[in-house]
């Protein structure tokens, strides 16, 4: 006599898959052979009924013909047949272990994290050398100022999410060439937390985040280079009932009309007339720290370098105040035209071997 699987599980013939699963879990918990008062034969029968009725194709065959062709029936280890894992494609072992043995299904919930943001900031040469502070206005998802990102009204308690039953995840079944494939996705109702507020925040309607403009302060360290990136943790977009992403600031340093940077040193060119190269002189030159007096030694050659200590770029590490140097490349300017008197004087110098 054919078995009545609906009667075995105690469900109606038009029962939904959820009703069938609930009935199976209740009976499996009662008759599991590892439990006191369990019944292995009854458990196998319950398992067989569930394996047929939870599968749409097998259930259709059973409803039409009163049997399933190629049905493997019950059996297997502990009442389950593990020889064909496709039969368990939409079955949560964590749930059944919790029912059978009283274990809590403690799947680690992934904390939601907001999107990272990247912006570009342009600095003057001086700002990059000595450091600076910038404030930028960014339009992004930020935590609700009223509920501080919790999504609940002030004084409201949390309750278990009815969509995911507190797990934070919902199961989706998709049919494919290989059979039914089950995937788990984050519950959109509780944003994966498993709980929802009894009363939602009136400002963000329970989301915990709002799209708004937020001013962010950027502290630029002294000595930063062109193309470097500053990371501001938690200053990216906020995630509903989660944590905020990061803000990445890419620095673009404008060129200076006089100075160039080589490591921690600043380099500049200075032209002097031939007479000063021969006799020496003093010059007032403008540096990034202000004007200084520079002595040019007599007899200097074009291309020689003069070094002024500690007038370069500050070192990034430590607070010892160390800085690079200012290096001045002397360029002796050769006149293109000579007056009659200048030519006579140079002729005299030529005779002297100069």
Q: In the chain, what are the domains?
A: 5-101 (1.10.287.110), 108-145+208-254 (2.60.260.20), 260-351 (2.60.260.20)
What pLDDT sits at residue 256? 96
Q: Could you tell me where the DSSP H helices lie in the chain? A: 5-9, 17-31, 40-53, 56-65, 93-101, 125-130, 274-279, 340-351
Residue 232 has φ and ψ, to the nearest 5°, of -110, 100
**Within 13 Å and on the Cβ side, how many CA atoms surround 79?**
24
Distance separating alpha carbons of residues 212 and 146, to the nearest angstrom: 14
82: helix, strand or coil: coil
Query: Residue 203 pLDDT more than 80?
Result: yes
Instruction: Tell whether pTM > 0.85.
Output: no
Cβ pair 240, 230 in contact under 8 A: no
CB proximity list for 293: less than 8 A, separation 6 or greater: 282, 283, 284
Q: Per mean pLDDT, which range of 42-56, 102-116, 143-157, 171-185 is the poorest?
A: 102-116
pLDDT tens readout for residues 209-256: 999 999 999 999 999 999 999 999 999 999 888 889 999 999 999 999
The CA–CA distances, whole Å, from 205 to 12, 43, 343, 352 equal 40, 47, 89, 94
How confident is residue 76, by pLDDT bands cut at 50, 70 and 90? very low
How confident is residue 176, by pLDDT bands cut at 50, 70 and 90? low
Q: pLDDT averaged over the chain?
A: 82
pLDDT, mean of residues 83-98: 41
What percent of the chain stands above pLDDT 90? 39
How confident is residue 71, by pLDDT bands cut at 50, 70 and 90? very low
> Bigger pLDDT: 330 or 337?
330
What percent of the chain stands above pLDDT 70? 84
Cα-based torsion angle of the residue sequence 255, 261, 264, 266 in order, rounded to the nearest 10 degrees: -100
How confident is residue 1, by pLDDT bands cut at 50, 70 and 90? low
Burial class (CB in 10 A: 0-12, 13-18, 19+), 158: middle
Residue 265 has φ and ψ, to the nearest 5°, of -95, 150
What pLDDT sits at residue 180? 72
What pLDDT sits at residue 132? 93
pLDDT, mean of residues 274-295: 92
């Amino acid at each position: 006599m054919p078995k009545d699987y609906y009667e075995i599980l105690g469900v109606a013939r038009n029962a939904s898959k959820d009703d069938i699963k609930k009935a199976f879990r209740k009976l499996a918990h009662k008759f599991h052979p590892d439990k006191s008062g369990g019944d292995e034969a009854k458990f196998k029968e319950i398992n067989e009924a569930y394996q047929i009725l939870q599968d749409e194709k097998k259930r259709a065959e059973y409803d039409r013909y009163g049997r399933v062709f190629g049905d493997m029936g019950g059996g297997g280890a502990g009442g389950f047949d593990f020889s064909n894992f496709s039969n368990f494609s939409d079955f949560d072992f964590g749930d059944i272990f919790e029912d059978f043995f009283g274990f809590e299904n403690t799947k680690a919930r992934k904390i939601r994290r907001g999107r990272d943001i990247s912006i570009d900031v342009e600095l003057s040469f001086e700002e990059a050398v000595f450091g600076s502070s910038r404030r930028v206005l960014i339009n992004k998802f930020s935590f609700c100022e009223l509920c501080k990102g919790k999504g609940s009204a002030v004084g409201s308690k949390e309750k278990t999410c009815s969509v995911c039953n507190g797990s934070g995840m919902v199961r989706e079944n998709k049919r494919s060439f290989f059979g039914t494939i089950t995937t788990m996705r984050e519950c959109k109702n509780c944003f994966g937390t498993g709980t929802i507020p009894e009363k939602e925040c009136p400002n963000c309607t329970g989301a915990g985040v709002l799209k708004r403009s937020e001013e962010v302060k950027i502290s630029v360290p002294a000595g930063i280079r062109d193309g470097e990136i500053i990371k501001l943790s938690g200053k990216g977009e906020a995630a509903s009932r989660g944590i905020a992403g990061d803000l990445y600031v890419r620095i673009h340093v404008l060129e200076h009309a006089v100075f160039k940077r080589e490591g921690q040193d600043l380099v500049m060119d200075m032209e002097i007339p031939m007479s000063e190269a021969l006799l020496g002189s003093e010059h007032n030159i403008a540096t990034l720290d202000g004007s200084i007096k520079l002595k040019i030694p007599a007899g200097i050659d074009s291309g020689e370098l003069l070094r002024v200590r500690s007038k370069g770029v500050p070192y990034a590490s430590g607070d010892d105040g160390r800085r690079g140097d200012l290096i001045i490349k002397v360029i002796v300017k050769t006149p293109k035209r000579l007056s009659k008197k200048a030519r006579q004087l140079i002729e005299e110098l030529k005779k002297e071997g100069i």
